Amino acid sequence: MTDLALQLQSQTGVRVLWVTCNLFAHPRYMNGAATNPDCHVLAYAGAQLKKGLDTAQKLGAQNFVFWGGREGFLTIHNTDVAAELKHMANFFKMAVKKIGLKCQFLIEPKPKEPCKHQYDYEAVSVIGFLKYYGLEYDFKLNIEPNHTTLAGHSYEHDVVMASAFGMLGSVDSNTGSPDLGWDTDQFPMDIRNATLVMKTIIEQGGLQPGGLNFDAKVRRESTDLEDLFIAHIGAMDTFARGLRNAVRIIEDGIIPGMVKDRYSSFSHGIWQKVEEGSASLEEMEDFIKQNGEPKVTSGKQEKYESIFNHYI
Amino acid sequence: MTDLALQLQSQTGVRVLWVTCNLFAHPRYMNGAATNPDCHVLAYAGAQLKKGLDTAQKLGAQNFVFWGGREGFLTIHNTDVAAELKHMANFFKMAVKKIGLKCQFLIEPKPKEPCKHQYDYEAVSVIGFLKYYGLEYDFKLNIEPNHTTLAGHSYEHDVVMASAFGMLGSVDSNTGSPDLGWDTDQFPMDIRNATLVMKTIIEQGGLQPGGLNFDAKVRRESTDLEDLFIAHIGAMDTFARGLRNAVRIIEDGIIPGMVKDRYSSFSHGIWQKVEEGSASLEEMEDFIKQNGEPKVTSGKQEKYESIFNHYI
Amino acid sequence: MTDLALQLQSQTGVRVLWVTCNLFAHPRYMNGAATNPDCHVLAYAGAQLKKGLDTAQKLGAQNFVFWGGREGFLTIHNTDVAAELKHMANFFKMAVKKIGLKCQFLIEPKPKEPCKHQYDYEAVSVIGFLKYYGLEYDFKLNIEPNHTTLAGHSYEHDVVMASAFGMLGSVDSNTGSPDLGWDTDQFPMDIRNATLVMKTIIEQGGLQPGGLNFDAKVRRESTDLEDLFIAHIGAMDTFARGLRNAVRIIEDGIIPGMVKDRYSSFSHGIWQKVEEGSASLEEMEDFIKQNGEPKVTSGKQEKYESIFNHYI
Amino acid sequence: MTDLALQLQSQTGVRVLWVTCNLFAHPRYMNGAATNPDCHVLAYAGAQLKKGLDTAQKLGAQNFVFWGGREGFLTIHNTDVAAELKHMANFFKMAVKKIGLKCQFLIEPKPKEPCKHQYDYEAVSVIGFLKYYGLEYDFKLNIEPNHTTLAGHSYEHDVVMASAFGMLGSVDSNTGSPDLGWDTDQFPMDIRNATLVMKTIIEQGGLQPGGLNFDAKVRRESTDLEDLFIAHIGAMDTFARGLRNAVRIIEDGIIPGMVKDRYSSFSHGIWQKVEEGSASLEEMEDFIKQNGEPKVTSGKQEKYESIFNHYI
């Protein structure tokens, strides 16, 4: 079962056990696993998935990650997108129907590489797929930030968005190079980025049963075993500093308070109806007829950035 | 009502009337319209939207396009994403509740510009948003391909994806420069791209009540009025050639036939259960135990590309 | 000598023999060959280069291509850029001093991959390097257009720029995917791009002793031997159509004539002094004092694009 | 003379006076100033440049920056690149010939925007242009890092490269957003980036007569005057922290020492001949015949990054 990566790790006291299903390494899946035009290949992926799920069950895995490295297309000319999306959804449904399994299913978005285009493009498009096929209660997202940057977003973007949709299940704490167009899986060393990720995780009350996963490798030009230790220590320190910074930001309450004030106008009157979704355009028009033009307020980006820098 | 663009045009015999709601030009919407942290601004947007919808109704508009040019954020530091997404959804719900309106609502995805990040990032992420808030039956997508390329996709990608999800309502037939990172709104002159777009439109049975909309402008360095005529003629010719090519591709049936064959294995036996979503992993495993390793088949990308070139 | 690729091919009647020196495959060159911080590695590269040049000489090679796949850095933290540039220049000087060799040296620019940053970033920056170290008379450029797109340029850009500087020696006629950030080495199938490349080659009077080199491979998902034939035929047809189109564009003289007219004002009077570089700001000022504000003229991009499409 | 921006500022004790020549704002320069196909426009640019240089002289300007915002093309179809490059070179030669002027000429590279392609693409390609036309002794570079990121490089790249070529004259200390494709001119708030820039400046012995220039503006969504103060203070603090970090990195000598050791093998024996450029391939071959395969050494990127983080 060379196609099944197994990851065990302990972090933040809690023991977290992962099983990741990467059905892409084998040439058999070159045209996709669940989205392969040949149902025989889909069947093979299903058989391997069953084995993976059985293994996960035996190991008492708490998380099962799907990364659809070949679920997409290299050219639109030969691809029936509608058919492939349905096959992928039905493939996931088979996993959901698997009896006795208790672990959290996770999908890891990635926009491209090895495919030209992957269906799990970025966080919100995966949520769109899951909602469209009624899978949103059975899956959460495992966000890998260097996939996020490949999709044209900032490092923290998909972590924030997945969390906003209540779908953030786990984080691959690695990084890419924003000036490169491929997945470098570097060890994360940017304290600013780590701070923003940890802030989001704290604000949503943690990741259990998920966690932070170093899905990272040393650079191509590394040969010393020592590098691997240094890389893990340096990256762990980076996220530890990020956690400390995030805790201080939240406990000080300055930035959270500024954000709370920024949205405070929605807390009363007809604005609660807007919050609840029961307001009408007529009410909006009446309000404006009485109150006229709003005052334009600054977003104060530079102030937020300057305060944020005090925590770095 | 300077914020409301009005577009009338006639194409392919059918009269199509558009009203586009671009609540972004005015500084008032600098921090968003429906997603503004100040509910007073959201109210103003609502009042303008009501006026826009009334106008659309009077004009017998068949399409009403929302382009959320400022519905997003410039920095995550000052933004409550969850709150803004809910406000945007509730804003759209107000539009849906508007009595007596018969036109098709359309959302036009754009990943960025003027915002650093816009919530309507690309086709599938917009579908995700609509599904999440139960708006998918009231809205379709108006795809502008140079927004598609800004999101890191190929020109035709969002047209194809929106269509695969049954959500393609209309197309802004303009183009960008893949080597530029902003929206150039050029007149489309690439016959290959026009062919792929028209092929998708024909395959889904047209766009009614939507259509092709030249949301394009001449280049910055254009000053002669003549340029505007030439640009429209050249772009119209490009899409006319694209339409002719697409018709020939479909009528010849060579490429469609190759694609049909590629997926033909799903038409019988347990594979119909996979199609229906009633198959199980156990069935997949049994099949593989009996039939073993699948034969790897080539995607034949270069063959498709070569045949496609015969139609250009 | 596994690090030395050998390419023989016949094209446009003329027999062209290539030897390409890719000192990057071996882990030994992981930190660079000519730019390696360890002079022992540089020496090994030099020894291999000598062997390569001897082989080229025996074979009567007409072109010798240097692609510095690892001549650059993965992180600036550990890199002495000035030292590495000098070592690379001196490495090339050793090649130039090699006695008895009659073939054209070519440098193939590539911005990144496998390195994060390669010194041979794009055409004009390579010309800058060659001029800075006095190597401009001993080297020309071998342009690979999918490296050009990786550097943020349009497909034809580096072919055009290298030619404008009189440094275009050869062309790798392959393509990339502008929406991907890595080197796909696809077979070129875009007729527009092929037309622009062939037009430039004709206008500079050909590439001898260089030529067009299919440095391309079938897609990852290809397994049939047949694909390789189809790919070569399809790509060759694409460039053949590009050549035909380019010839017609030049022979018709419509576009060349429009360009010639556009610059015609420089052909007489003090403008010849501007051409020669002997004009002064005082003369410019005097001219404006007499003639005042110039008339703004349109660039007519859409007209050029529309006419160009008639040749596709 | 609305086309001539004037900037006065005091920094690091030294009074630095700038005059920037941005011949792009006026529609007259829409098709370029020095590279305009109409020599009448080039003359107008020359007349304005003369005025600018006279003003600079009167003011005792120490730096004169050329930013060729329109010196490039929007489409290759209508452009004679060779002619435009020569005209631009000859335009600069007129400036050089201007009598009595004592200030440092600076070219500010930018890859695109407003043009699709600008000739001053990035640091090394500008150096290539200057060398090609014999202007390298009369000009240095003014690097704006958000232009650097637009060209596909890391923030610090062009500062480092310009310095390595001995051509770094000044720095626009602003920033862009790596996930956006246009020039945002944000106030720099990233301490890591500021540290790398200041380290390079210290290592080359400062920028005199150049300096750090806040060519930055508050975000689009800013309206409060207060923001402008906060932005300047925050950005100044960022560079002050960058300067402090850089000084500590250099004084501690740990990272500089590691880099020095990395290249130490070149300091003796035949390697000095490599340094001087007098070595031969035969000598390299002899060395390898005696010493065989080199030992592969790790680049230790993660170690450098971890140590660097201790200074942030």
Convert the pLDDT of each residue in C11-21 to its tens digit.
333 344 666 66
pLDDT in the model for residue A107:
96
Q: Does residue D178 sit at the B interface (CB-CB below 8 Å)? A: no
Query: How large is the average pLDDT for residues D283-300?
Result: 95
Of residues D242 and A102, more confidently modeled: D242
Q: Is the pLDDT of residue A25 over 60?
A: yes
Give the single-character DSSP code of A152.
T
Asked if D301 lies within 8 A of A192 by C-beta distance, the reply is no
pLDDT in the model for residue D24:
67
Confidence of residue A56 (pLDDT cuts 50, 70, 90): confident
Write out pLDDT tens, residues B1-13.
234 444 443 333 3
Tokens 């016949």 map to which residue?
C10
Show which subunits contact D, needing at least 3 CB pairs below 8 angstroms: A, B, C
Write out pLDDT tens, residues C57-99.
888 888 999 998 899 999 999 999 999 999 999 999 999 998 7
Residue of D41, D73, D180 to mutate, testing the B interface (most B Cβ within 10 Å of its Cβ): D180
- Shortest CB distance from A266 goes to which of B39, B125, B297? B39
Asked if C74 lies within 8 A of A220 by C-beta distance, the reply is yes
- Shortest CB distance from C309 goes to which of B189, B218, B299? B189
Asked if A301 lies within 8 A of D218 by C-beta distance, the reply is yes
- Shortest CB distance from C30 goes to which of A27, A114, A221? A221
pLDDT in the model for residue D216:
84
- Shortest CB distance from D302 goes to which of A218, A298, A305? A218
From chain B, the residues in CB contact with D30 under 8 A are: 220-221, 223
Query: Which CATH architecture is the domain B15-252 placed in?
Result: Alpha-Beta Barrel (3.20)
What are the φ/ψ torsions at residue C132 (nearest 5 degrees)?
Answer: -60, -35
- Shortest CB distance from D280 goes to which of C94, C126, C131? C94
Residue of A150, A295, A302, A306 to mutate, testing the D interface (most D Cβ within 10 Å of its Cβ): A302
- How many angstroms separate the CA atoms of D51 and D152, rounded? 35
- The distance of C151 to chain D (nearest Cα, Å) reads 7
SS3 readout for chain D: CCCEEEEEEEECCEEEEEEEECCCCCHHHCCCCCCCCCHHHHHHHHHHHHHHHHHHHHHCCCEEEECCCCCEECCHHHCCHHHHHHHHHHHHHHHHHCCCCCCEEEECCCCCCCCCEECCCCHHHHHHHHHHCCCCCCEEEEECHHHHHHCCCCCCHHHHHHHHCCCEEEEECCECCCCCECCCCECCCCHHHHHHHHHHHHHCCCCCCCCEECCCCCCCCCCCHHHHHHHHHHHHHHHHHHHHHHHHHHHHCHHHHHHHHHCHHHHCCHHHHHHHCCCCHHHHHHHHHHHCCCCCCCCCHHHHHHHHHHHC
- Shortest CB distance from A223 goes to which of D191, D224, D296? D296
CB neighbour list of residue D217: distance below 8 Å, 6 or more residues apart:
D185, D186
- How many angstroms separate the CA atoms of C140 and C126, rounded? 10
pLDDT in the model for residue B17:
61
Low-confidence ranges of chain C (pLDDT < 70): 1-25
Lowest mean pLDDT among B90-104, B237-251, D158-172, D191-205: B90-104
Asked if B221 lies within 8 A of D112 by C-beta distance, the reply is no
Q: Does residue B25 sit at the D interface (CB-CB below 8 Å)? A: no
pLDDT in the model for residue D8:
39
C296 → chain B, closest CA residue = B223
Q: What's the mean per-residue pLDDT of chain B? A: 90
Percentage of chain B beyond pLDDT 90 is 77
- The distance of B178 to chain A (nearest Cα, Å) reads 14
Q: Is the pLDDT of residue D292 over 90?
A: yes
pLDDT in the model for residue D168:
98
Asked if A300 lies within 8 A of D154 by C-beta distance, the reply is no
- How many angstroms separate the CA atoms of A5 and A238, rounded? 26
Mapping DSSP to helix (H, G, I), strand (E, B) and coil, where does residue C171 land? strand
- The distance of A301 to chain B (nearest Cα, Å) reads 7
pLDDT in the model for residue C18:
65
SS3 readout for chain B: CCCEEEEEEEECCEEEEEEEECCCCCHHHCCCCCCCCCHHHHHHHHHHHHHHHHHHHHCCCCEEEECCCCCEECCHHHCCHHHHHHHHHHHHHHHHHCCCCCCEEEECCCCCCCCCEECCCCHHHHHHHHHHCCCCCCEEEEECHHHHHHCCCCCCHHHHHHHHCCCEEEEECCECCCCCECCCCECCCCHHHHHHHHHHHHHCCCCCCCCEECCCCCCCCCCCHHHHHHHHHHHHHHHHHHHHHHHHHHHHCHHHHHHHHHCHHHHCCHHHHHHHCCCCHHHHHHHHHHHCCCCCCCCCHHHHHHHHHHCC
Asked if D181 lies within 8 A of B180 by C-beta distance, the reply is yes
From chain B, the residues in CB contact with A74 under 8 A are: 299, 301
Sign of dihedral through CA atoms A69, A73, A78, A83? Answer: positive
Show which subunits contact B, needing at least 3 CB pairs below 8 angstroms: A, C, D
Give the single-character DSSP code of A296.
P
Using alpha carbons, list the distances in angstroms from residue C110 to C122, C171, D160: 6, 13, 19
The ipTM of this complex is 0.93
pLDDT in the model for residue B6:
43
pLDDT in the model for residue D17:
61
- The distance of B304 to chain C (nearest Cα, Å) reads 10
- How many angstroms separate the CA atoms of B308 and B130, rounded? 35
Q: Is the pLDDT of residue B276 over 80?
A: yes
For chain A, the domains span 15-252, 255-311
Show which subunits contact C, needing at least 3 CB pairs below 8 angstroms: A, B, D
- How many angstroms separate the CA atoms of B72 and B85, rounded? 9
Q: Is the pLDDT of residue A309 over 70?
A: yes
Tokens 């395969």 map to which residue?
D293
From chain C, the residues in CB contact with A28 under 8 A are: none
From chain D, the residues in CB contact with A190 under 8 A are: 192
Q: Does residue C97 sit at the A interface (CB-CB below 8 Å)? A: no
Asked if A298 lies within 8 A of D227 by C-beta distance, the reply is yes
B285 → chain A, closest CA residue = A47
Q: Does residue A259 sit at the B interface (CB-CB below 8 Å)? A: yes
- How many angstroms separate the CA atoms of C180 and C112, rounded? 13
Confidence of residue D15 (pLDDT cuts 50, 70, 90): very low
Q: Does residue D178 sit at the A interface (CB-CB below 8 Å)? A: yes
Q: Does residue B230 sit at the C interface (CB-CB below 8 Å)? A: yes
Asked if A300 lies within 8 A of D189 by C-beta distance, the reply is no
Asked if B302 lies within 8 A of C154 by C-beta distance, the reply is no
**Upstream peptide bond of D114 is cis (omega within 30 degrees of 0):** yes
- Shortest CB distance from D181 goes to which of B114, B181, B223? B181
Confidence of residue A24 (pLDDT cuts 50, 70, 90): low
Confidence of residue D222 (pLDDT cuts 50, 70, 90): confident
Confidence of residue D1 (pLDDT cuts 50, 70, 90): very low
Q: Are D153 and D122 in contact (CB under 8 A)?
A: yes
Lowest mean pLDDT among B238-247, C51-60, D193-202: C51-60
Show which subunits contact A, needing at least 3 CB pairs below 8 angstroms: B, C, D
Q: Is the pLDDT of residue D12 over 50?
A: no
